[in-house]
Amino acid sequence: MIGIDLIAIAVMVFGLYFPRHRRRDLVVAYLVVNVGVLAVSAILGTTTVGLGVGLGLFGVLSIIRLRSSEITQHELAYYFAALAIGLLTGLSTTVNPVIIALVVLVLGVIAIGDSPALFRRYRQQTVVMDTAYTDEASLRLALEGMLGAKVHRVNVLHLDTVNDTTTVEVRFQVAETADVARTHEALQR
């Protein structure tokens, strides 16, 4: 099971995460967390302490990591996948087809859910506008023109009428190239 864990975490980190996101510091975090949880859960699986302590450890490790630095939602998903794979493989002392299937399931879900092809045109961004927009319709129109995108949701984070700025979190869908060109032409008129 240790070999299965090492193969699974290598696939996750070097085959999925790093090629897609290129954040080197989290490579180390995912590897160490996975192997650490594997080691601890392997020991806990052989003692009378039991599964409750192992799951408690899982929760404590999660809280410590979440409080230590800000990570994005997709990075959090990889983090929990590394924990889950380590816990699954560490608690079994023999090669178990169900556990192997669960490890493959975790890898498959993260591979599909974080695929660049899935919802490839959708984005989320925080934008500071150089005008104080008090009307949401005007704000949406300005954002669509600036981003060349269809705005799906706008959340005003800060409206500063003194300095004439609006800070918004915007969720949008990037337009196809032809749509962007038409939007740009319409703005020029």
Domain ranges of the chain: 2-113, 122-188
Report residue 176's pLDDT band, with 50, 70 and 90 as the boundaries. confident
Write down the pLDDT at residue 47: 62
**What is the C-alpha to C-alpha distance for residues 96 and 109, in angstroms, rounded to an integer?**
20
pLDDT tops 80 at residue 68: no
Q: Contact 174/123 with Cβ under 8 angstroms?
A: yes
Both tokens of 148, joined, read 């060349």
Share of the chain above pLDDT 90, in %: 53
Write down the pLDDT at residue 178: 46
Write down the pLDDT at residue 188: 55
Q: What is the mean pLDDT of the chain?
A: 85
Q: How far is CA 90 from the centre of its chain?
A: 25
pLDDT tops 50 at residue 182: yes
pLDDT tops 60 at residue 131: yes
**What is the C-alpha to C-alpha distance for residues 32 and 168, in angstroms, rounded to an integer?**
37
Residue among 80, 101, 74 nearest 30 (CA): 80
**What is the C-alpha to C-alpha distance for residues 84 and 63, in angstroms, rounded to an integer?**
15
CATH class in words for 122-188: alpha beta
Instruction: Tell me what the mean pLDDT of segment 6-32 comes to.
Output: 93
